[in-house]
Structure 1
Amino acid sequence: MTVVRSLVLFLLAAFAEIGGAWLVWQGVREHRGLLWIGAGVAALGLYGFVATWQPDAHFGRILAAYGGVFVAGSLAWGVVVDKFRPDRWDYVGAGICLVGVAVIMYAPRP
């Protein structure tokens, strides 16, 4: 159950951070205004809290593993929201990152 909880929290964190950054991007780069920027800042703040709910107590480990989730999640966000079409190397790179997440977070430790 701990692994499932951790995975759900990684997905929630990815949604908050990537979504927040996208909202700020839209507010600034696409001139959508302060409301979009404010929503983005709030989502980014939520990301900071979600990361603290991970069952592992080591900040460095959580953030290092989340980096891999962020890479894969960013590509997925681009596909769904911006109609980005990753190439095979994007998929390979994201897969490598997710393997890294699994090793960092879920490898057996004494």
Structure 2
Amino acid sequence: MKFGIFACIVMVLVTCLASPAFATGTGDVAGAVESTWADASAQIKSVVNNVVFPAIDLILAVFFFAKLGLAYFDYRKQGQFEWAAPAILFACLVFTLTAPLYVWDIIGLA
């Protein structure tokens, strides 16, 4: 019963808030998509450069330093330092720190 009421409310909201998307006068859908992409690509690039890459960098930096600390404590306990995990995290961190310099040339949004 509750699911039916919820489904009806959702359907009413979808029909009220949905707006049709029409191509420009000639019916050229590809042209409409290309012009929308041309307008949005600069905004997407800005958001990825200013939000996504720094968030990934922060997460990788925290994991790198945490793993480095744990590797040091393991070294103190066992006498052998394990380099693999910190090295992989460091390589990923360097990759994501430098990615905004070249990733847009690869994708084609330079």
Give the TM-score range, shorter chain. 0.3 to 0.5
Which structure carries more relative contact order (alpha carbon 8 Å, separation 6+)? 1
TM-score, with structure 2 as normaliser: 0.41
TM-score, with structure 1 as normaliser: 0.41
